Amino acid sequence: LAKSLNVPTVRLGMALGIPEVSNTLERLGVNKDEIRPVPSMFLGSFSLTPFEVAQMYQTLTNSGKRAKLTALRSVMDMEGNVLYQSLPRSSRAVDEQAAWLTTYAMKQGVAQGTGRVLQGEVGWAAWAGETGVSDDKRESGGGGGDGREVTAV
């Protein structure tokens, strides 16, 4: 996974099973209608918005607990009094060990794989991330998180 090798990724997905991976994607927040249950799904052959990608990364890097993403953590007045604070509730979406293993693999992608440029360029050494570029380089994207903050482009 860290080296973005397609054949081993598809083999791993097939070993886990298309139904299991589809169910996990749903628990991570992917719209069921977006998931086509075919082997290429393991390579991301479905369309996701950056928000959906960020929600998945939030869940994985938060030990498998899914909390609704928010744009604001809090609003304070000039004296520092909290006028609003976001306190999103979280619920278990995926197994904690599975989330940890996936996050570890994603950290390797930042440390030594296709996302390694993120370490030096933007200081994301502790981030778990993933990059995605189509074969013809017309489409690209990526994102990641550290358990506290997430991003997706």
Q: What are the tens digits of pLDDT across the range 75-88? A: 999 999 999 998 88
pLDDT tens digits, residue range 105-149?
888 877 776 555 555 555 555 677 776 655 555 556 777 787 778
**Type of residue at 66:** R
pLDDT at 20: 95
**What is the reported pTM?**
0.76
How far apart CA 127 and CA 29 sit, in angstroms, is 20
